[in-house]
């Protein structure tokens, strides 16, 4: 694997323009944004979106497309944004210009080597692994393993993270990070300054707002890392050499290792102050201290998940009992990474089952309730349900899928869930016509709802290549009825980060 800052500007541009970089979550295999990105890149020809505008996109709402992934089955949600492709590609062009990329990589190198050890530098796979899998492996090696070794030197570990990191980031701080506060403030009206260009692109896509960046792309992950690296630099200046402590940071998650409560809490205050300067604040509910570094370095849900795995199938011989174990675990640790991993592993084991069980409806009911309580599991749960329900007759399939859909409809803010429900009910062998208010689902059904606001664009050629039907690269009706483990591999790899 290679860190992105080790790539050439041409290679990193190719990386950012991949569909899996534009949206780095799970989508059914028949949806891809890469065709639109490629066509927009051809039209822009390395240039800036401003050359194609009839009006300032800052003045328009809905320039980015927002859809929602529910986090708890109730009223907590994660807003995901598909950045307007023209602005996205334009920003990639600016960042990946030879002189700009050289400046960024040099600046990032200046953030390194101090009190804060960043373990989340974006990386790219150099082999057959996905980039997400590579990032996860990097996380495992850099954070969890190093945390365990620190038990030899330190008695305390304090965990904390940023509340709504992407949503609270002050966009002007991007220029501070790239150029230093003094230079950025002295040149805040200089449009040619790289930091101001990045800032203006983000504001243009988000109704002129200066608070928050979009969430869901590798590009915005990279921008967030630049700002957090700048915060690392400020912490390093304040704390000096880490002689009696260590700090590990993975994205917006911090681990402080020390030998006393007072030392750890003093460092925490400094981290909080520096984050505050760029619009971020720490989450009180997720801040906790452990006086056993080994135990404190592994999340409680992961330890419990290890216990559950070690029980083996001998302690739950039937599918129903195994599902009930997963359901009970989900009640204790809803939406946890360990649950995601366990559900994914259960799906892999279940895929060998070929006969209809007598308690099929019970199994379907338990699996569905896991998704209601923990909506982040929906790709894997949808896959599990697709396998279970495939074992029955066409009439029974329609009846069971109707019940599943009706129950999952109770989950509010569930656009992402709808996308996956369409995946498992739309295949022609299932026989259900799927209708939804989610625009991406409507596009899959051949409709033409608006994803991005385009009225600010003057160029008819650019408008033409933004045709939303291009995101559907194959027919949902032709998709296999059963979602294979390979189709949700990204979900499985992501789960190992927790």
Determine phi and psi for 116, rounding to 5 degrees: -95, 125
| Contact between 344 and 376 (Cβ < 8 Å) | no
Q: How far apart are CA 15 and CA 2, in angstroms?
A: 12
When pLDDT is averaged across residues 335-361 and rounded to a whole number, the result is: 87
- 161, containing H or E segment: strand 156-161
Lowest mean pLDDT among 53-57, 298-302, 454-458, 474-478: 298-302
Q: How far apart are CA 70 and CA 301, in angstroms?
A: 20
Q: What is the pLDDT of residues 440-488, one digit of tens each?
A: 999 999 999 999 999 999 999 999 999 999 999 999 999 999 998 888 8
Per-residue confidence band for 127, with pLDDT thresholds at 50, 70 and 90: very low
Question: Residue 294 has which token pair?
Answer: 């080994």
Per-residue confidence band for 24, with pLDDT thresholds at 50, 70 and 90: confident
339 vs 258, residue with greater confidence: 258
Question: 335 in helix, strand or coil?
Answer: coil
Q: How far apart are CA 443 and CA 449, in angstroms?
A: 7
| Contact between 112 and 37 (Cβ < 8 Å) | no
Q: What does the pLDDT read at residue 413?
A: 73
When pLDDT is averaged across residues 32-56 and rounded to a whole number, the result is: 97
Q: How far apart are CA 83 and CA 217, in angstroms?
A: 8
32 vs 138, residue with greater confidence: 32
Per-residue confidence band for 492, with pLDDT thresholds at 50, 70 and 90: low
pTM of the model: 0.91
Question: 72 in helix, strand or coil?
Answer: coil
DSSP secondary structure, 472-497, as one string: B-S-STTS-SSPPTTTTHHHHHHHTT
Per-residue confidence band for 2, with pLDDT thresholds at 50, 70 and 90: confident
Q: What is the pLDDT of residues 414-429, one digit of tens each?
A: 888 999 999 999 999 9
Altogether, the residues listed in the chain come to a count of 498
Lowest mean pLDDT among 220-224, 301-305, 333-337, 338-342: 301-305
Q: What is the pLDDT of residues 196-237, one digit of tens each?
A: 999 999 999 999 999 999 999 999 999 999 999 999 999 999
Per-residue confidence band for 140, with pLDDT thresholds at 50, 70 and 90: low
Q: What does the pLDDT read at residue 496?
A: 47
Lowest mean pLDDT among 112-116, 154-158, 454-458: 112-116
Angle made by CA atoms 69, 440, 398, in degrees to the nearest 5: 85
- 388, containing H or E segment: helix 378-390
Q: What does the pLDDT read at residue 126?
A: 52
| Contact between 343 and 384 (Cβ < 8 Å) | yes
Residue closest to 147 by CA, chosen among 298, 306, 299, 304: 298
Per-residue confidence band for 128, with pLDDT thresholds at 50, 70 and 90: very low
Q: How far apart are CA 62 and CA 207, in angstroms?
A: 8
When pLDDT is averaged across residues 354-378 and rounded to a whole number, the result is: 92
Q: What does the pLDDT read at residue 498?
A: 44
Q: What does the pLDDT read at residue 136?
A: 54
253 vs 490, residue with greater confidence: 253
User: Any residues with CB less than 8 A from the CB of 192 and at least 6 apart, and which?
Assistant: none
Highest mean pLDDT among 103-107, 391-395, 431-435: 103-107
Q: What does the pLDDT read at residue 196?
A: 98
Is pLDDT of 151 > 80? yes
Q: How far apart are CA 149 and CA 161, in angstroms?
A: 21
Q: What does the pLDDT read at residue 70?
A: 66
The CA-based dihedral angle spanning residues 145, 151, 154, 160, taken in that order and rounded to the nearest 10 degrees: 50
| Contact between 252 and 279 (Cβ < 8 Å) | no
When pLDDT is averaged across residues 375-400 and rounded to a whole number, the result is: 93
| Contact between 177 and 44 (Cβ < 8 Å) | no
308 vs 384, residue with greater confidence: 384
Is pLDDT of 353 > 50? yes
Lowest mean pLDDT among 68-72, 280-284, 356-360, 362-366: 68-72
When pLDDT is averaged across residues 293-307 and rounded to a whole number, the result is: 74
In the Cβ-directed half-sphere of 346, how many Cα atoms lie within 13 Å? Answer: 35
Is pLDDT of 72 > 90? no
Q: How far apart are CA 4 and CA 16, in angstroms?
A: 10
Segment 422-426 long-range contacts (CB within 8 Å, at least 24 positions apart): 422/28, 422/476, 423/28, 423/30, 423/382, 423/476, 423/479, 423/483, 424/382, 424/383, 424/385, 424/386, 424/481, 424/483, 425/401, 426/476, 426/477, 426/479
Question: Residue 200 has which token pair?
Answer: 């203006």
When pLDDT is averaged across residues 237-260 and rounded to a whole number, the result is: 94
As a whole number, the mean pLDDT across the chain is 89
């Amino acid at each position: 694997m290679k860190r992105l800052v080790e790539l050439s500007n041409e290679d990193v541009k190719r990386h950012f323009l991949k569909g899996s970089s534009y949206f780095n979550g799970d989508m059914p295999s028949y949806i891809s944004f890469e065709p639109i990105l490629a066509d927009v890149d051809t039209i822009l020809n390395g240039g800036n979106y401003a050359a194609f505008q009839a009006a300032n996109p800052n003045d328009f709402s809905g320039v980015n497309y927002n859809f929602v992934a529910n986090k708890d089955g109730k009223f907590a949600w994660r807003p995901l944004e598909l950045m307007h492709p023209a602005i996205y590609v334009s920003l990639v062009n600016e960042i990946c210009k030879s002189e700009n990329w050289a400046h960024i990589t040099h600046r990032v190198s200046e953030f390194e080597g101090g009190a804060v050890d960043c373990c989340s530098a974006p990386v790219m796979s150099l082999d057959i692994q996905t980039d997400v899998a590579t990032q996860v492996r990097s996380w495992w090696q850099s954070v969890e393993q190093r945390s365990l070794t620190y038990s030899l030197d330190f008695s305390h570990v304090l965990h904390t993270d940023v509340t709504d990191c992407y949503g609270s980031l002050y966009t002007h701080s991007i220029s501070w990070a790239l150029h230093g506060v003094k230079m950025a403030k002295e040149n805040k009206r200089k449009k040619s300054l790289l930091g101001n260009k990045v800032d203006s692109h983000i504001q243009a896509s988000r109704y002129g707002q200066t608070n928050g960046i979009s969430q869901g792309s590798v590009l915005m992950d990279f921008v967030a890392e630049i700002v957090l690296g700048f915060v690392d630099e400020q912490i390093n200046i304040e704390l000096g050499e880490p002689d009696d402590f260590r700090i590990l940071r993975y994205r917006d998650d911090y681990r402080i290792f020390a030998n006393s409560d007072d030392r750890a809490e003093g460092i925490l205050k400094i981290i909080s102050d520096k984050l505050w300067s760029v619009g971020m604040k720490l989450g009180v509910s997720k801040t906790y201290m452990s006086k056993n570094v080994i135990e404190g370095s592994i999340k409680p849900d992961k330890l419990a998940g290890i216990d559950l795995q070690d029980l083996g199938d001998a302690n739950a011989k039937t599918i129903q009992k195994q599902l009930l174990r997963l359901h009970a675990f989900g009640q204790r640790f809803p939406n946890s990474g360990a649950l995601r991993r366990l559900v994914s592993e259960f799906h892999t084991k279940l895929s060998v089952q070929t006969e209809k069980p007598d308690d099929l409806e019970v199994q379907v009911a338990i699996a569905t309730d896991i998704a209601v309580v923990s909506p982040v599991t929906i790709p894997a749960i949808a896959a599990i349900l697709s396998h279970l329900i495939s074992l029955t007759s066409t009439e029974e399939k329609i009846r069971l899928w109707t019940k599943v859909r009706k129950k999952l409809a109770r989950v509010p803010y569930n656009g992402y869930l709808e996308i996956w429900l369409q995946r498992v009910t739309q295949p022609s062998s299932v026989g259900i016509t799927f209708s939804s208010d989610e625009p991406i689902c409507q596009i899959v059904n051949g409709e033409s709802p608006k994803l991005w606001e385009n009225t600010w664009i003057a160029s008819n050629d650019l408008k033409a290549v933004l045709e939303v039907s291009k995101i559907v690269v194959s027919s949902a009706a032709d998709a296999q009825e059963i979602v294979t483990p390979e189709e949700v591999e990204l979900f499985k790899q992501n789960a190992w980060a927790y």
